[in-house]
Chain A
Amino acid sequence: MSTATADKDARTKSRKRPSAELPDKTLVGWLRDMMLIREFEIRTMQAYSNAKIGGFCHVYIGQEALAVGTIGSVNPDDPVITAYRDHGHALARGMDPGACMAEMYGKITGCAKGKGGSMHMFDKPNHLYGGHGIVGAQTPLGAGLAFAAKYEHEVMGKGGKKVALCYLGDGALNQGALHEAMNLAGLMGLPVIYIVENNGYSMGTSIGRGTTMSEDLTKKADAYGILGATIDGMDILNLYDHFKPIVDTCREESRPAFIDMKTYRYHGHSMSDPQKYRTKDEVEGVKQRDSIELLAAYLMDDRKAITEDDRKAIDKEVKAIVRDAMKFAEESPVPDVDAELYSDVYVNPSPGCSPIREYVKGAKNPLL
């Protein structure tokens, strides 16, 4: 076989890839979203260092392709739920960056009116059911979202077939909640996809020190009789090619899946992590396959969909968006203590719920 034929075969084959069917506009949109998340997180780290952001803060740098590619594989009204490294999912789902940043600044204009913080990004209009702080606690909720969507469709005759995405870190693999949830999802045939954002470390514990069968996590899916797959989550095209068919299967056949998606975080677990558990060489090595660079190179060199100037324009655009988000967060007011401390505790606050004072209705959520 000549080289030319081999190249032609490769191109033919590549056209058959699901990602090859996606229009340039979609892929350029993904590049933009990934660049937005990275810029957003760089500025988040700065704001944290400047004490504008408090509490725990976990940035998404390095993992951008994962949130953007998986969310890009489902419908806008499919329910999504994640853990506490959640800024990337919020932005990929379409949350206003200003509301996301303002939440971390503890401002009333934040997505949770400053009551949630970095780990609790909720966006009802975009069907993002949170950011959740307790490791693994979101996994039974993921099953519940799939259950409810299925119930709505089958029992109430409303809505189409939906699939729920439930993200978890590799640290959550060892929480009982996940195992109960996977068993329930398998038994009940729930269309939920558990996506392990396997960045290799739960805080400072490398995966092999925390879980069995870490070389092949799909065995855990086998244990519950559910669909399992391992996917490289750094290359967004590869991710989509392998993930989208699973989404379609889970949606059509109303069944769960469990995906070991390989990714990497470039920074520490949280802002206070000196990272003594890994070497600088390891981190630098991964950066050679940076997800943004991979997609940008494909769009410029293979697809010829954008030029270097276009990329610079996107970079300028996302920097402006994030700058505006910071300004918005900075200038927004803090929550009013009288109005907000005792609001959003009960939807229907009966008298006598607290011995201290009566609960009240607070300001309308800025996203609603």
Chain B
Amino acid sequence: MTAATTNGDRTIQFREALREAMTEEMRQDERIFLLGEEVAEYNGAYKVSQGMLDEFGPNRIIDSPISENGFAGLGIAAAMYGLRPIIEFMSWSFSLVAADQILNNAPKMLYMSGGQWGCPIVFRGNDGAGGQLGSTHSWCVEALFANVPGLKIAIPSDPYDAKGLLKTAIRDEDPVFFLESERMLSDKGHVPEEEYTVPFGKAALRREGSDCTLVSFGRPVHFCQEACDILEGDGITCDLLDMRTVRPLDSESIVESLKKTNRIVVVDQSWPFASVASEVISQVCEKAFDWLDAPPKRVNSDDVPAPYAKNLEAAFLPHAEKIVTTVRSIVR
């Protein structure tokens, strides 16, 4: 108990939590290697892999030239062969040039081979607006990729989950897309010394309330926290569910919360049309229509390419003010 209390004080950065997950798993399993742009000698474009080259050497921490389609495919075949690759995309925006490999090969290999070859691989990197990077570099890929059966998508919102979910991802037998945010890499949070993992498909209840259910994942969870603070000033309290993974999706926890609050707002950084929010609302309508006292609502990024100008980008995101307005519109 004492030790746990002491360890409970330990706080580290999001990027350090990711690094710890990879490092600890690599020490236990020599099939694991990290491959990507600038991961080795540069110590990571965002310093996630800092120091890993020194510990594991160039055979396991491997710099790739800028060839996403090439190195994504290389990793996929290595996973089929029996290794456990972690492939870093500097940004998920750049994964689009590897779309054929990550969408056609990784998630379909098991099916196409009639169960002969799975693809235990983790693709990870920054997702969503990084900060005035403009439209090509600010992709939120979760809506686009969640459409594809055969893959799993994890989106942590804090360092604890970053480490626990990444360990689960590395140990999983299926391809996992692991979505981080450049804007959260320096966030600090409690991460215990002890070994732990966070399972896929189990949402975390971040706040408890009675008037509305807020569903989110990744960076927008923080926008929801801000919104909840503001709404509490009005006497409106919300359940805030952090989904942690969008495929699998813990719809049971959503329905359970909805039965208490009877109102739901889904906050998702992807564009609104056919988004993860759309999917959540579809499932809510199918599974708990009778529990709804108001139309289910979504808050997404605005339905335009990500803008560059600071004020436009800030307006574009699913920020707290949008969430507050939406919640108020259905909670009277």
Contacts and interface: CB of A to CB of B under 8 A. Distances in A.
Interface of A: 79, 81, 110-116, 120, 122-124, 129-130, 132, 134, 137, 139-145, 147-149, 151-152, 154-156, 176-177, 180-181, 183-184, 187-188, 343-348, 350-355, 362, 364-365, 367-368
A17 B10 CA distance: 70
Given A181-B74, A355-B249, A355-B282, 11 more contacts: A115-B114, A130-B113, A137-B105, A141-B73, A141-B77, A156-B31, A176-B69, A344-B113, A346-B110, A353-B149, A353-B152
B70 A344 contact: no
Contacts of A350: 152, 200-201, 248
A134 B104 CA distance: 9
Given A346-B110, A350-B201, A367 B116 contact: yes
A81 B100 contact: no
A154 B114 contact: no
A124 B248 contact: no
A148 B110 contact: no
B283 A355 contact: yes
Interface in B111-127: 111-118, 120
B72 interface: yes
B11 interface: no
Contacts of A110: 114
Contacts of A347: 110, 118, 120, 173-174
B69 A140 contact: yes
A144 B250 contact: no
B16 to A, nearest CB: 26
B67 A141 contact: no
B110 A344 contact: yes
| Interface range, B side | 35 or more
Interface string B232-243: 000000000000
B25 to A, nearest CB: 15
B60 interface: yes
B111 A177 contact: no
B114 A145 contact: no
Interface of B: 30-31, 33, 59-60, 62, 64-65, 67, 69-78, 80-83, 100-101, 104-105, 109-118, 120, 149-150, 152, 172-174, 200-201, 247-252, 279, 282-283, 286
Contact of B70 (A122, A134, A143, A354): A143
B67 A184 contact: yes
A148 B83 contact: yes
22 contacts: A115-B114, A129-B80, A130-B112, A139-B73, A140-B71, A140-B73, A140-B77, A141-B105, A143-B77, A144-B74, A152-B81, A343-B115, A344-B114, A345-B111, A348-B174, A350-B248, A351-B248, A352-B201, A353-B247, A354-B149, A355-B251, A365-B114
Contact of A112 (B71, B77, B116): B116
B65 A187 contact: yes
Given A134-B100, A184-B64, A355-B279, A141 B117 contact: no
Contacts, number: 182
Given A137-B101, A184-B67, A147 B116 contact: no
A348 B100 CA distance: 23
Nearest to B251: A352
Contacts of B174: 346-348
B112 A112 contact: yes
Nearest to B64: A184
Contacts of A180: 67, 69-71
Contacts of B75: 144
A137 B105 CA distance: 8
A365 B116 contact: yes
Most buried by B among A144, A345, A355: A144
Contact of A111 (B76, B114, B149): B114
A343 B118 CA distance: 12
Contacts of A365: 113-116
Question: What 4 A-B pairs come out closest when comparing CB atoms?
Answer: A140-B73, A144-B77, A180-B70, A112-B114
Given A137-B105, A177-B70, A350-B248, A120 B112 contact: yes
A231 to B, nearest CB: 25
B100 to A, nearest CB: 6
Contacts of B283: 355
Contacts of B72: 140
B70 A181 contact: yes
B36 to A, nearest CB: 13
Contact of B248 (A111, A145, A152, A352): A352
Nearest to B77: A144
Contacts of B77: 81, 129, 140-145, 147-148
B152 to A, nearest CB: 7
A39 B31 CA distance: 43
Contacts of B67: 180, 183-184
B60 A155 contact: yes
A96 to B, nearest CB: 14
